[in-house]
Amino acid sequence: MNTPSNAMPGSTLDARPSAPALDSPTRPLYWSIRRELWEYRSIYIAPLAAAAVFLFGFSISMFRLPQRMRDLSVLDPMRQQELVRQPYTYAALLIMGTTFIVAFFYCLDTLHGERRDRSILFWKSLPVSDLTTVLSKASVPLVILPLLTFAITAVTHWIMWLLSTMVLGASSVGAEALWSRFSLTQMTVTILSHLLLIHGLWYAPFYCWLLLVSAWARRMAFLWAVIPVLVLNALEKVALNTSHFASILVRRVGGAPEGAAFSSGHMSMDPLAMIPLGEFLSSPGLWIGLIFAAVFLAGAVRLRRYREPI
């Protein structure tokens, strides 16, 4: 005789929770990037502070703007355009320079700091690979900071343009004198291309080298990042009486691909100058630099895997 089952068909007691779906592989990278933004608030505070300081000074200069625009009327059109664009160039250079300094010290500290304060023991206990962690840290100077710099610079330029328009519109000069000398939309597109190409791609070997040093050095990471460069330059000068390595570094810092046929033989440091995309992407220096950046990143991943807390 069969014993009747106590379980009722369709009873909720027989229901089994389904296995949770696997998270997307991009989620650990996303949250790792969020963690970097939480821990290093200078990533966005420093460029915002630089933009605020510049806007304060620019707003004070608005009292002299109508007279300056009248003085420009006696100059040739090219000179007029150059002088009108000058404050926008200075604003972009200040914000970009600030973010470059932030990126430099962030890369030097991010892998070294977690070993110094021993927080690496906690982060290694999480199901996040060393590759994901290093890529999240590399994405800050290569992706996050260029896009953040673009957003802050674009907003700063539009505020400057609105202030200038209101001041000139209220004066006898008229805002048409400002509109006819440059296009703010074209300026915004140019800044975006400059940040993505130069700060995102051309400077990649610098940032990845700093990440490698940050993962390796036990102390004085800044000196370990700079001394090898100075030693190589001095060694080449003594042994071969040449300075090719130093000239390559100067071109790299100045944003000039080797052999590029730009005006005056090099790329302008003006962030509002258009970059010839074809020449930039076809320059051997770009791809050689990206290969070095990949090697440095691979070294940083391996070092983080085996390095112990300081």
Q: Which DSSP state fits 198?
A: I
Q: Give me the percent of the chain exceeding a pLDDT of 90.
A: 37
- How far apart CA 236 and CA 226 sit, in angstroms, is 16
The residue ranges of every structural domain in the chain are 26-306
138-149 pLDDT, tens digit each: 999 999 999 999
Please report, for residues 155, 203, 272, the alpha-carbon distance to residue 249 in angstroms, rounded to integers and kept in the order given: 32, 11, 23
* Whether residue 287 has pLDDT greater than 80: yes
* Whether residue 266 has pLDDT greater than 50: no
Amino acid at 42: S
CA 260 to chain centroid, in Å, comes to 23
Amino acid at 233: N
Band the pLDDT of 215: cuts 50, 70, 90: very high
Token output for 7: 């379980």
Least confident of 101-105, 119-123, 233-237: 119-123
Q: Which DSSP state fits 259?
A: T
Amino acid at 250: V
- How far apart CA 206 and CA 253 sit, in angstroms, is 9
Band the pLDDT of 210: cuts 50, 70, 90: very high
**Which pLDDT belongs to residue 205?**
94
Closest-CA residue to 260 (of 232, 286, 235, 288): 286
Band the pLDDT of 1: cuts 50, 70, 90: very low
Question: Tokens 């998270």 — which residue?
Answer: 23
- How far apart CA 182 and CA 86 sit, in angstroms, is 11
CA 137 to chain centroid, in Å, comes to 12
For the entire predicted model, the pTM comes to 0.81
What three-state secondary structure class fits 160?
A: helix
pLDDT, the chain, mean: 81
Cβ atoms of residues 61 and 53 within 8 Å: no
- How far apart CA 54 and CA 92 sit, in angstroms, is 10
Q: Give me the percent of the chain exceeding a pLDDT of 70.
A: 80
Closest-CA residue to 189 (of 159, 158, 143, 150): 150
**Which pLDDT belongs to residue 11?**
44
- Looking at per-residue pLDDT, the higher value among 265 and 295 belongs to 295
Closest-CA residue to 190 (of 77, 122, 87, 89): 89
Q: Which DSSP state fits 16?
A: -
* Whether residue 7 has pLDDT greater than 60: no
149-189 pLDDT, tens digit each: 999 999 999 999 888 888 877 766 655 656 666 677 888 88
Band the pLDDT of 297: cuts 50, 70, 90: very high
